[in-house]
């Protein structure tokens, strides 16, 4: 489903699995080219050592590459299935303060995905990013592997035939 950056930001902010872990989308970048996320340290997500529970940190990093690619590719007329195929996390330092991370998808990565979706019908790539606290201290390193399947691959057109570029603009 295509939605605006603002509507999706609010929908995800109140999505219970993220809300109760105090994971807060600060903003989606224009045209879903990125996202800024904050993990608020609170009584709901601290562990025995009074740092943010590792499961909350890992959960915060899970959905965003899939969401970004899904929204970008829908706007380009693709009918896809997108999910996080695998993930790895390295906890570097205890997260004793709020954590922040930004994910950005470059034009070259979108072009690479489109090329693969048109020629082989799927795209699999790993992306790396870091989580820092408010003081800039590196607390975790993450690798997310994204899987995208073109559901129209092998048909006459690899792009959704019902796609209308005039309907893409958010109101």
Residue 94 lies in a domain: yes
**CATH number, residue 102:** 3.10.129.10
Q: Are 133 and 72 in contact (CB under 8 A)?
A: no
Question: Helices (DSSP H) in the chain: which residue ranges?
Answer: 5-13, 16-19, 54-61, 64-75, 107-119
Mean residue pLDDT across the chain = 92
Q: Bridge partners of 159?
A: none
Q: How many domains does the chain have?
A: 1
Write the Ramachandran bin of 163: left for phi over 0, alpha for psi from -120 to 50, otherwise beta.
beta
Q: Are 118 and 111 in contact (CB under 8 A)?
A: no
- Answering whether pTM is above 0.85, one says yes
**Mind listing the pLDDT tens digit for each residue in 116-156?**
999 999 999 999 999 999 999 999 999 999 999 999 998 86
Residue 170 lies in a domain: no
| pLDDT < 50 stretches in the chain | 165-166, 168, 170-171
Residue 111 lies in a domain: yes
Residue 162 lies in a domain: no
User: Which range of residues forms the domain containing residue 99?
Assistant: 5-156
Residue 100 lies in a domain: yes
Residue 166 lies in a domain: no
Burial class (CB in 10 A: 0-12, 13-18, 19+), 60: buried
């Amino acid at each position: 489903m295509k939605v605006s950056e603002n509507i999706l930001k609010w929908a995800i902010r109140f999505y219970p699995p993220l809300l109760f872990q105090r994971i807060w989308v600060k903003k989606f970048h224009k045209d879903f080219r990125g996202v800024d996320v904050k993990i608020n340290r609170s009584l709901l997500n601290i562990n025995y050592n009074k740092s943010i529970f590792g499961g909350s940190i890992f959960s915060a990093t899970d959905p965003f590459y899939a969401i970004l690619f899904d929204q970008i590719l829908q706007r380009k007329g693709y009918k896809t299935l997108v999910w996080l195929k695998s993930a790895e996390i390295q906890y570097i330092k205890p997260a004793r303060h709020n954590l922040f991370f930004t994910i950005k998808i470059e034009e070259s990565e979108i072009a690479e995905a489109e090329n693969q979706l048109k020629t082989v019908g799927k795209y699999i790539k790993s992306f790396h990013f870091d989580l820092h606290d408010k003081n800039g201290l590196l607390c975790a390193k993450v690798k997310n592997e994204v899987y995208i399947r073109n559901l129209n691959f092998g048909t006459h057109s690899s792009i959704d035939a019902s796609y209308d570029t005039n309907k893409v603009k958010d109101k």
